[in-house]
Amino acid sequence: MSRRAAARVAEATVHGHRVRYRVAGTEGPVLLLVHGITGSSLTWQPIMGALGQDHIVIAPDLLGHGESAKPRGDYSLGAYASGVRDLLALLGHDSATIVGHSLGGGVAMQFAYQFPERTERLVLVDSGGLGREVNVLLRAAALPGAEFVLPLLAAQPLRDAAAAIGRAVGTVGLRPGPDLEEMARGFGSLGDFETRRAFVHTVRAIIDPGGQRVSARDRLYLAAELPTLIVWGARDRMIPVSHGVSAQQAMPGSRLEVFEDAGHFPHRSDPERFADVLLDFVEGTAPAAIDEESIRERLRTG
């Protein structure tokens, strides 16, 4: 992988709102990379060059995240999926392989559910929406009044002092290294009021104090004809690897790759292996061609 396509930052206006995104590559099939909650397209930076050699790689900042706009509005999975569809259409792409991490995995599954004709393949990375369990940090954010506590978590000492951040996230089992870095950056972003408001709306759309409240488990059978790759960090303390194992069992023909030494961010822990696995999957599968009749048959037979 010596030849790499440098990622560049671009901006588009979708429905009057600014959407910042990173893009690498100029030709080939489209790979759409969707980040997790409190994250941004920056999380994909280490792999975009390798992926962009023979693909067009697009990684947006979802609304409410990163450098994209943070309007008052709908932060449900369906709204995110529609926003991703509209960005792809604006950029001139009819379909893509959808790669989603954590919250982005839920968005990716919702995209495949809402727009099967636009989904060539599905890649779930430590994905939400596959089981009830989720780390106490996110469950706490769903509690009434959490919006008043979050400014304390995003205060300057936590943003600037690595030791303080380490103590805060270490108590809930998150790993040092990539997990710590990503969580620190995410909590730092919550110092901004509009970002914090979007975060609370997003969390409460998918999580309650008991865990994840949105699940795709009862509809995974609809993806039987969709090439699917599931990637998980064995040491994930945010969402357990058992969710990935059970999802693979519920989706015959899907592929599961477990990164034994990774936590919640396998694409950051071992970017070279992650890129190799993703490219091998894309090159070894044909894009799905799902029509309305096949969906109706799946719904009839369950």
173 in any annotated domain: no
Task: Please tell me which residue, 81 or 184, carries the higher pLDDT value.
Answer: 81
Question: Which is the catalytic residue, given 61, 126, 179, 236?
Answer: 236
Stretch 188-202: mean pLDDT, rounded? 88
Confidence (pLDDT) at 191: 81
Q: Which long-range contacts (CB under 8 A, 24 or more apart) does 222-225 make?
A: 222/113, 222/116, 222/295, 222/298, 222/299, 223/109, 223/112, 223/122, 223/251, 224/251, 224/252, 224/253, 224/298, 225/288, 225/290, 225/294
CATH of the domain at 223: 3.40.50.1820
Has residue 13 been placed in a domain? yes
Q: How far is CA 265 from CA 51, 56, 61, 192, 261, in A?
A: 17, 22, 17, 24, 11
Is 160 part of any domain? Answer: no
Pick the catalytic residue: 55, 65, 101, 264?
A: 264
Name which residue leads in pLDDT, 289 or 254: 254
* 42 assigned to some structural domain: yes
Supply the range of the domain harboring residue 243. Answer: 8-132+216-301
**240 in a domain, yes or no?**
yes
Give pLDDT, residue 282.
98
> To the nearest whole percent, how much of the chain has pLDDT over 70?
89
**For residue range 105-118, what is the model confidence (pLDDT) as tens digits?**
999 999 999 999 99
pLDDT tens, residue by residue, 222-251? 888 899 999 999 999 999 999 999 999 999
Predicted local confidence at residue 151, as pLDDT: 60
Catalytic residue among 102, 127, 215, 269: 102
- pLDDT tens digits, 138-147: 888 777 776 6
Tens-digit pLDDT profile for residues 42-61: 999 999 999 999 999 999 99
How many structural domains does the chain have?
1
* 261 falls within a domain: yes
- d(Cα 159, Cα 147) in Å, to the nearest integer? 18
pTM of the entire structure?
A: 0.90
| Bridge partners (DSSP) listed for residue 257 | 231
Q: What is the mean pLDDT of residues 154-160?
A: 48
**3-state SS assignment for residue 121:** strand
In the residue annotation, 102 being an active-site residue is answered as yes
Residue 113 lies in a domain: yes
159 vs 148, higher pLDDT:
148
- The confidence score (pLDDT) of residue 224 equals 80
Q: How many CB atoms lie within 10 A of CB 284?
A: 10
Whether 172 shows a pLDDT value over 70: the answer reads: no
Residue 106 resides in a domain: yes
pLDDT band, very low/low/confident/very high, at 149 (cuts 50, 70, 90): low
